[in-house]
Amino acid sequence: MSNKRLTQQQIDGYHEDGYILGLDPIFDAAGVAALNDGMEELLKLLEPGETALEIREWHEASSFLYDICMNEQILDYVEDLIGPNFFMWGSSFFNKDPHSPKTVGWHQDSFYWPLDPPESCTVWLSFNGSDRENAAMRVLPGSHKDGIIKHQSADETDSVLTLECDTKKFREDEQVFLELPAGAISIHDDKIIHGSLGNDSDRSRIGLTIRYSKTHVKCDLDVNPFFRCYHCRGVDEFNHNPRGPIPTQKYARIYKEYRNVETKLADES
């Protein structure tokens, strides 16, 4: 297989460190403006009391989000990293308001997902730029190599997560902040330990995560009966997972309780 966009050195670096930065931007200035205009349209669909965190798996209903998830440049990068046969199954916004003290404690995505085997990656798309000051995501390089680590209850914390993983065997002073200009992406392995600090700036931080898995990865539908996949590239010889409908409406929402599913999984672990 010939690499589409990445050098072999970049690919090897991803598998060694568990993340990749420095990719060509996905969207130019006009594209970034369109992203943020679309975000505003999605926010109009929220009900009283809801936040952008509710915009989860709306790619099943909104062609605006679906088209972002199926962007050919993004798919090229994903294919270089996880192989030619893969599907997309998740998207969600992780926004932080200016001066928000809320953190995201150290954790692994794969701990929360009922997927077997844990062979997935996440694309983090910046809508307005992320840096240390406005709470860019941070990772512990190489931490994905130890597999899934047991997570414990986090009591005295500002973290939006109730469970965090033990990082004693890793050096937090080796953390890397995944700083991105607007319209650019980072990609990280589902087992890398990561999190974020509070937003100390006057700027918001708007990021869309998109989840991709190899076709042999299977979801436990007893845990997440809402799971739907969208085939992206190659051949799905397994057909383990139900397919989702391709949306026809530009801005639309769903009402499934995905966060409750993840809470259930965490409580049972």
Would you state the CATH architecture of domain 8-268?
A: Sandwich (2.60)
- Provide the pLDDT for residue 171: 84
3-state secondary structure 41-106: HHHCCCCCCCCHHHCECHHHCEHHHHHHHCCHHHHHHHHHHHCCCEEEEEEEECCECCCCCCEEEE
Over the stretch 30-73, which tens digit does the pLDDT of each residue have? 999 999 999 999 999 999 999 999 999 999 999 999 999 999 99
CA distances from 213 to 19, 54, 151, 185, 189 (A): 15, 22, 22, 17, 10
For 70-116, write each residue's pLDDT tens digit: 999 999 999 999 999 999 999 999 999 999 998 988 999 999 999 99
For the stretch 158-198, pLDDT in tens is 556 667 777 777 888 899 999 999 999 999 999 999 999 99
Q: In what order do the strands lie in the sheet with 185-189?
A: 19-20, 185-189, 120-126, 207-214, 86-93, 230-233
**With 70 as the cut, is the pLDDT of residue 268 above it?**
no
Evaluate whether 227 touches 242 at the Cβ level (below 8 Å).
yes
Task: Enter the tokens of residue 83.
Answer: 């192989």
DSSP labels, 185-249: EEEEETTS-EEE----SSS-B-EEEEEEEETT-EE-TTT-TT--BEEEES--SS--SPBPPPP-B
pLDDT of residue 263: 45
Cis peptide before 245 (omega within 30 of 0): no
pLDDT at 90: 97
pLDDT at 258: 57
* More confident of the two residues 203 and 146: 203
Give residue-wise pLDDT tens across range 241-260.
Answer: 999 999 999 999 998 765 55
